[in-house]
Copies of this chain bind each other. A is one copy, B any other.
Amino acid sequence: MTGLKNDRLLRALLRQPVDRTPVWMMRQAGRYLPEYRASRAQAGSFMDLCTNPELACEVTLQPLRRYPMDAAILFSDILTIPDAMGLGLYFEEGEGPRFRKPVDSAADIEALAVVNSAQDLSYVMDAVRTIRRELNGSVPLIGFSGSPWTLATYMVEGGSSKDFRKVKAFAFNQPELMHQLLSVLADSVADYLRCQIEAGAQVVQIFDTWGGALGHAAYRDFSLSYMTRVISQLPRESEGRRVPVILFTKNGGQWLEAMVDSGADCLGLDWTTDLAGARRRVGTAVSLQGNMDPTMLYASPTRIREEVASVLAGFGQGSGHVFNLGHGVTPEVNPDHVGAFVEAVQELSPQYHENG
């Protein structure tokens, strides 16, 4: 038993009755909070913050001190696995992540081995254990990883990309080699998430940030199939409870039916997808997470509340909805607007669970 005081998230992910819709925010531990910026300055670089379990725990807990969130999410980066593979992750101020040694040849791929997360990413597991201890059963902890395809895009492009021409040309011209890379990544991601679960993660989310840049057939071949492979390798129970898996493909709203077959318990939706339509399409196969436009947090608290009401009405009556943004909260958001957002979910959602 987990002895969780608030298990709304776990229950909603498994479509079990809840008193209100649980809520958390992607990137809830982040730059929009002044206390985060202070911890970041204290740590040094972004990776110094990720690799320091005490500080990673501190920033993970910061949003929970301000807002009644129904979950904590491990503070880390999606690119820890390629970093552990020796590619040399670094961040330039104002730029996205970059790798010192991108994957550039067949020999580079041959040289990659499945990451032993317990050993090579022990700082992440230390952070998970520290956070669990400090949470003390208040809310569940979500672990996460980037999807194999998403990791591959950064590894081959050497950083962020506008059109992914390098990694796509590679996938189109040398599919066997790309499948070899994705296989190593999938087994690494599976081991990484398994270790996070063993260290105390009670939910895991796979962030497929760039699967939606692929065509529909390429998405299935190069992204979805490897997320399915990851999920098939995960322990699905820990501490006597099921460990739900959330699959979030940004820009993947056209492919929900295919994603259902991945074995995920929940599909994350970005804000372009009509939640009511999504619920009809997936039926009772999975729960849904999302999906307010994160830029709505730049609107007034009154407008934010209207939008929360609209999203809640979109899903409608019953359990199976986890409220979230459709992507991460952005750095310039006013923290008071986040407060208005969370409060609106808390106040407006109970009416959808009265027969629960």
Contact = CB atoms under 8 A, between A and B. Distances in A.
Interface of A: 163-165, 168-169, 172-173, 212, 214-219, 251, 253-254, 271-274, 293-296, 298-300, 303, 307, 310, 326, 330, 332
Given A272-B215, A330-B163, A168 B251 contact: no
B303 A163 contact: no
Interface of A (DSSP majority class) = helix
B274 A216 contact: yes
Contacts of A165: 295, 298, 330, 332
Nearest to A215: B271
B215 A293 contact: yes
Contact of A173 (B164, B215, B251, B299): B299
Give 5 closest A-B pairs by Cβ, nearest first: A172-B299, A169-B298, A215-B271, A168-B295, A216-B274
24 contacts: A163-B294, A163-B295, A165-B332, A168-B293, A168-B295, A168-B298, A168-B299, A169-B295, A172-B296, A172-B298, A172-B300, A173-B299, A173-B300, A173-B303, A212-B272, A214-B293, A215-B272, A215-B293, A216-B274, A217-B310, A251-B251, A254-B254, A254-B272, A254-B274
A251 B332 CA distance: 26
A175 B272 CA distance: 19
Contacts of A273: 216, 254
Contacts of A172: 295-296, 298-300, 303, 307
